[in-house]
Structure 1
Amino acid sequence: MVSHSMFNNPELQESFRHQLLRALSSGKGIQAILYEFYQVFSIRAVITDDIFYPQAIKSGQESDRYIELIDVIDGEPAIILDRRLQYQWQAVRFDLKSNDEICGYLFVDEIGMTNFIYEQIKSITGDLSFAVLAELKKNKELLHQGRRWKYAFLFDLLYGNIKDEQTLNAHAKTWEWDLSVPHMVLSFQLQNYDQLLGDEVLLEKIQRTWELFLMRHLINPMILQKRDELIVCLPVDSNIKDLKNSIKVKERVNQLLTSAATILNQRDFYIGAGRAYHQGIELYRSYQEAKMARNIGIHETGEKLSFFHDIGLMKLLYSHDRSELHEFYKDTMGELLNHDDDTEAELKKALRTYIEQDLDISRTAHSLFVHKNTVRYRLKKIEDLLHVDLSDLSVIMDFAVAFHIETLHQVDRTKLRRW
């Protein structure tokens, strides 16, 4: 063992750097780097990546070989849990940084941690950071190469590009996914996504966090990142009703969001849940449903998590012929839109608000920040313009359906020219 005072000696410090370089060239990964640390300090320690996923442990125990059974719970102090031996110990955290950006963490046993040893360990974190970052980059590149095929398969799965169930199941088994059990799709859309502000990297970290979380709950993760969206395929119980499944899904969604709370830092997602399907070749339907439910939550209900099986009339509109929806919208709203374009009277806004406020004049006026008489005037203007009676429930239903079609983005406004 090298003395702790070695770091007061430039020659010995240089020797430690050479030991780290030798560890890097050994091909044994981060475990070899941690071994060199242990040779110097003889203190058990764990190295994790930037989301606290253990990469190596050195404690002199047989369980050092079972890194997948080690959990790190960050805190002051941090807790290192060995699930194989049912044992835990407390640790001090050291940040491993590169250009002021966290690349990983070193957790060292709190027992025997003196101020002197603490300062000595701090003095070598720069060298350790360099070595750990080099290994993490190499691992990430290897992981990225393997994921290319996985993501290509998930893309084909979610867009219905594989038509044969046997072929799909055979491909799924490559990653040990069992699509013979029912699955559903969740669509998480990051609010106010901005690639220039690093949100692509943010979603990548959240994806890794969720993959780790699901693996620890014995679920083989199926997650695809697509621009501002994380798409999660979850196995569900086919023997319980939708309501109970909804409760379980809500619990799982909350668990996922909690696991990534530190990374999200008060950011949030819009979330949609599709229906469960027994055949993998139909999972693309669940994805389309999840996106639809998510958009309904954004534009209609205000719910953060929306289930497709709860959106009622929207299901019919979603599955209906798009050209017919366009014609219905044009017949119902066309003249009103033309009038608003010519006069900026905002009659459509008044009508939509009136319907959203359950045909209540007072609430409509409050929502629009106008006098009740102004609302009455605009509604009367609509009746005169369109030759309709807004006290007729069937008329109100036609307008409500038209507004739902508009919400679903089933209308191309560029095609709504004057007719």
Structure 2
Amino acid sequence: MNVEESLQLQNELLNKLVHGGGLKELVDSTSHFVRREVMIASTSHRVLESSLTDEEFGQGKFFEVLPLNPPSPGRVQIQAGETRMDALAIELSHASKRLGFLYLCDPGPDEDNRLKVLIHQARNIFVLELQKEAELLDNSRNYQDAFLFDLLYGNIEDNNDIIARAKLWGWDLSLPHVVTVFELEDYESYSQDHYLVTTLHDSIQSVVQPLDNAVILMEKNEEVILALPIESGKRRDFKAYLNMIINQVLAQTEERLAPRVIRVGVGRRYEQPSELFRSYQEAKVAVKLSVLLKGKGPTVYFRELGVERILYSHDKQELLEFYREMLAELESQDKQKNELTETLENYLTYHCDLKATANALFLHPNSLRYRLKRIEEILDMDLEDFDTRVSLVIAFKIKYLVDFKEKL
């Protein structure tokens, strides 16, 4: 390769930019010049533009990046569906900010330095274009985010004003909406976790993009917030619709983000856009409580929460006082073995079914009866009384809820 060839490629790409060409024109020109397929991808391995005709690597599609065996500097394998190929991978970054990757497909043998040098010369042109697109997107998002912040925190009360402003971004907030919050568990601010949240955002976007109605999608620290228009209809129908979307997202993120866990909280549907902030707050409560509620899975609907949603927002000191009134004496006398407290909790968990509780604790029913009698004596309560049972259930919920909130 000579200097003239390198300059020719740079001039050709710069000429495309000067005449208003975008990423697609740059990709096609580079591919034609080097006689190889070229692809530009986001940091989450989502295709932005590609000269490949294979639909598996079409715009918006995700793919996997696999190391070569044996390893080779800068070289990887990329796979989407059944299609797999070798590629030269070049990071596109500016001022330590990663913008994406350039992939030169089937680059040939390692000793062919001509293509390596050419594609590295083209790198800066692609960085310029991606940087420009990122700045335009950031500017647009700044206006969007300011509006969404006011909307999701209840700072706008005029429904007509909300509907009019939302139309600027193609959102129809005259329709009922429901907010779903996807959260990356154990998120750390000062780490690479923001790239994982971007991958989560891109996964959600790829699932909801084919939908007819425009959706609101916003990335915020460890959260990705999705507000979906939901036509009036049976609750069961819209829950099935939401579950379909959520399950598709979780299936994608399980592949791309494992072993990290994504938790999902769903708020209630609201008719008026000025009330959408309630759905957001409910979704946040649901996603936090999903960690606490065993057996509910990664997705929790606020509407389906029981007494937890009331307790969660209640005064902590009052909760502790109620808990101590109900269970402190039992725990005090049960410090060493903790068997009576465990027995009572299991008895309530199994709906006061003697046989089921005995089986769960590997106890003879008579031994269980003895323990329950002892518990009644310590607490000075009748476990056959319905109100007593309800109060004890709430006390145990408070126990775990207070411990949980202290860890947040």
1:152 maps to 2:178: no
**Distance between the aligned counterparts of 1:405 and 1:71, measured in 2?**
45
TM-score, normalised via structure 1 length = 0.72
Cα deviation, residue 379, structure 1: 5.0
**In structure 1, which of residues 328, 333, 345 is the aligned counterpart of residue 324 of structure 2?**
333
**In structure 1, which of residues 185, 193, 203 is the aligned counterpart of residue 187 of structure 2?**
193
**Distance between the aligned counterparts of 2:357 and 2:344, measured in 1?**
9
**In structure 2, which of residues 371, 377, 392 is the aligned counterpart of residue 399 of structure 1?**
392
State whether residues 326 and 410 of structure 1, in contact with CA within 8 Å, keep that contact through their aligned partners in structure 2: no
Unaligned runs of 5+ in 1: 1-6, 62-68, 81-88, 414-419
**Distance between the aligned counterparts of 1:52 and 1:272, measured in 2?**
26
Unaligned runs of 5+ in 2: 65-76
1:235 maps to 2:229: yes
The 1:379–1:251 alpha-carbon spacing in structure 2 relative to 1, beyond 3 Å, is: same
Please give the per-residue CA displacement for 1:165-196, whole angstroms capped at 9, x wherever unaligned. Answer: 11211221121110111111112222232334
1:210 aligned partner: 204
Partner letter of residue 237 of structure 2?
Answer: K
Partner letter of residue 324 of structure 2?
Answer: M
**Distance between the aligned counterparts of 1:74 and 1:228, measured in 2?**
23
2:122 aligned partner: 128
Worse-matched range after superposition: 164-173 or 134-143? 134-143
State whether residues 354 and 365 of structure 2, in contact with CA within 8 Å, keep that contact through their aligned partners in structure 1: yes
1:322 aligned partner: 314
The 1:140–1:381 alpha-carbon spacing in structure 2 relative to 1, beyond 3 Å, is: farther
Partner letter of residue 398 of structure 1?
Answer: S
RMSD: 4.4
1:85 aligned partner: none
Partner letter of residue 138 of structure 1?
Answer: K
**In structure 2, which of residues 362, 381, 384 is the aligned counterpart of residue 388 of structure 1?**
381
Worse-matched range after superposition: 216-225 or 156-165? 216-225
State whether residues 354 and 364 of structure 1, in contact with CA within 8 Å, keep that contact through their aligned partners in structure 2: yes
Cα deviation, residue 280, structure 1: 1.0
Partner letter of residue 333 of structure 1?
Answer: R
Matches within 5 A, 1:218-297: 218-238=212-232, 240-297=233-290
Cα deviation, residue 252, structure 1: 0.8
**Distance between the aligned counterparts of 1:10 and 1:411, measured in 2?**
64
Instruction: Report how many residues are paired.
Output: 383
**In structure 1, which of residues 7, 16, 21 is the aligned counterpart of residue 9 of structure 2?**
16
TM-score, normalised via structure 2 length = 0.74
**Distance between the aligned counterparts of 2:384 and 2:223, measured in 1?**
43
**Distance between the aligned counterparts of 1:351 and 1:137, measured in 2?**
61
**Distance between the aligned counterparts of 1:189 and 1:362, measured in 2?**
40
Report SS of the residue matched to 1:276: coil
Please give the per-residue CA displacement for 1:135-191, whole angstroms capped at 9, x wherever unaligned. Answer: 323322331222122122222222222112112112211211101111111122222
**Distance between the aligned counterparts of 1:97 and 1:385, measured in 2?**
67
Matches within 5 A, 1:101-120: 103-106=100-103, 120=114
The 1:183–1:223 alpha-carbon spacing in structure 2 relative to 1, beyond 3 Å, is: same
**Distance between the aligned counterparts of 1:363 and 1:384, measured in 2?**
23
Cα deviation, residue 253, structure 1: 0.8
